[in-house]
């Protein structure tokens, strides 16, 4: 058996490695669930579309949150101030600024 002929998964009944085109396990005889490529493609497409919608709703809800707006403002301020401080990059300044505001919001 070459590695090309063996699927990456094993039999759900006995764990025996399966051939990529197997319909039944050669060890225990259990049938192998064969998923057609179009079924997988359709499922992935549906999942991706649902995820995109959820991400958009979450992003819009997050932007409206006052605490998030304050953390983002702190990050922006940190990014602007960072170049004036030696060895602090703009991204590091943004993280520090946002982190400081978040810390202040959580500890009050």
Total count of domains within the chain: 1
Residue 36: predicted pLDDT: 65
Residue 4: predicted pLDDT: 39
- Which H/E stretch holds residue 52? helix 37-64
10 strand-pairing partners: 17
Residue 59 lies in a domain: no
**Which residue has 């958009």 as its token pair?**
56
* Tokens read off for 46: 């549906």
Q: Is the pTM of this model over 0.85?
A: no
Residue 3: predicted pLDDT: 41
Residue 4 lies in a domain: no
Sign of the CA dihedral running 39, 41, 45, 48: positive
- Give the range of the structural domain holding residue 75, as residue numbers without chain letter: 65-108
Residue 26: predicted pLDDT: 81
Residue 107 lies in a domain: yes
Residue 2 lies in a domain: no
52-55: long-range pairs with CB below 8 Å, 24+: none
Residue 78 lies in a domain: yes
Angle 10-23-9 (CA atoms, 0-180°, nearest 5)? 15
Residue 2: predicted pLDDT: 41
Task: List the pLDDT tens digit at each of the 108 positions of the chain.
Answer: 444 344 456 787 788 887 777 788 888 888 877 666 777 788 888 888 889 889 998 888 888 989 889 999 999 999 999 999 888 899 999 999 999 999 998 898
Residue 54 lies in a domain: no
* Beta strands per DSSP E along 4-64: 6-10, 17-19
Residue 76: predicted pLDDT: 93
């Amino acid at each position: 058996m070459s590695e090309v002929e063996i699927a990456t998964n094993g039999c759900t009944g006995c764990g025996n490695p399966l051939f990529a085109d197997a319909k039944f396990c050669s060890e225990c005889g259990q049938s192998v669930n064969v998923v057609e490529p179009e079924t997988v493609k359709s499922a992935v497409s549906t999942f991706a579309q649902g995820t995109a919608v959820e991400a958009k709703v979450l992003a819009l809800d997050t932007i409206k949150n006052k605490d998030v707006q304050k953390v983002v403002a702190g990050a922006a301020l940190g990014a602007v101030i960072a170049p004036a401080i030696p060895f602090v990059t703009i991204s590091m300044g943004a993280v520090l600024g946002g982190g400081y505001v978040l810390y202040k919001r959580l500890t009050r």
